Amino acid sequence: MEHIRRNERLAALTRLLTAAPNQIFTLSHFCELFGAAKSTLSEDIDILKGTFAHFELGKLETVAGAAGGVRYRASMPPEKAFNFISDLCAELCATSRVLPGGFLYLSDILSQHELVSSMGTIIAQEFYDAQPDFVLTMETKGIPVALMTAQTMGLPLVIARRSSKVYEGPAVNINYVSGSSGHIETMSLNRRAVTEGTRALIVDDFLKAGGTAKGMVDLMAEFHVDVVGSAFVMATAHPQNKCIQGEKALMIMDVDAANPGTLTVRPADWLAHRKA
């Protein structure tokens, strides 16, 4: 094997680690790939750690133990995360986004990869410690942010459907009361989509009363899966008591009851507290 210089190793290491976020690579793996000694690779990793920290490119972490190695985790400093969400709130408060009946036009924001990718990073950072095994969302609008969260955490994404379709195979269905319409709806998930005894992180676009989120929790109970956390792009200020607890929303939307055409959107309190 030709000799590979440190310069080249550092560039390749950066690409390989950041392309598979939250995945642990052993030093031996890289030693083999580059034909270099462990001590050399250790030095490489130390240099990268410093560079990543200096340029705020995320965190490179060494994990000790038998299953140890090195992993990359995306991260966004609390101040930067707060500012990103604040800017988004300002954009969302623009009059042209408020629709009749106090609805807010959000769809374009929920499908832009730069935006959902940053949201995914903020959510992932909050839930690494909860150690979920997969990310769960309910179709449709939450899919992009859930996918980006799953990618950032190196986890599979599981999508519950509004009803079971012929091309979905044997499925578990549950009924739930939608908070927004008050109607009884059906939620469906393929029998083999998740494994008993695993841990789910719910990621979705919008939380109002929490009927759909509660439905996802109930659906997971049918699979004997623990829900270890839930995150939403947007939650409404009212009702204050949601059907689920401990949820983390990125933004809070408040509609003026006297004048449904007027609404405000602000960053959630936990984002402000983390920064302080």
Q: What are phi and psi of 122, to 5 degrees?
A: -65, -45
Count of CB atoms situated within 10 Å of the CB of 95: 8
Q: In sequence order, what are the beta bridge partners of 264?
A: 254
Peptide bond into 239 cis (omega under 30): yes
Please tell me the distance from the alpha carbon of residue 121 to that of residue 132, in angstroms, as a whole number. 15
Please tell me the distance from the alpha carbon of residue 84 to that of residue 82, in angstroms, as a whole number. 5
163 is a site residue for its own copies (CB under 8 A): no
Tokens of 6: 């440190």
Choices 151-159, 222-230, 249-257, 262-270; region in contact with its own copies by CB under 8 A = 151-159
Peptide bond into 140 cis (omega under 30): yes
The residue within the footprint of its own copies, chosen from 122, 158, 227, 244 (CB under 8 A), is 158
117 is a site residue for its own copies (CB under 8 A): yes
Choices 139-147, 207-215, 220-228, 258-266; region in contact with its own copies by CB under 8 A = 139-147
Q: With CA atoms as reference, report the closest residue to 99 among 266, 263, 270.
A: 263
23-82 positions binding its own copies, by CB under 8 A: 47-48, 50-52, 54-55, 57-58
166 is a site residue for its own copies (CB under 8 A): yes
The residue within the footprint of its own copies, chosen from 124, 193, 201, 244 (CB under 8 A), is 193
Nearest distance, CB of residue 230 and its own copies, angstroms: 18
Choices 85-93, 101-109, 225-233, 256-264; region in contact with its own copies by CB under 8 A = 101-109
Nearest distance, CB of residue 106 and its own copies, angstroms: 7
b (16+ CB within 10 A) / e for 120-139: bbbbbbbbeeeebbbbbbbe
Which residues of the shown chain bind its own copies in the complex (CB under 8 A)? 6-8, 10-16, 18-19, 47-48, 50-52, 54-55, 57-58, 97, 99-101, 103-108, 111-113, 116-117, 139-140, 143-144, 147-148, 150-151, 156-159, 166-169, 190, 192-193
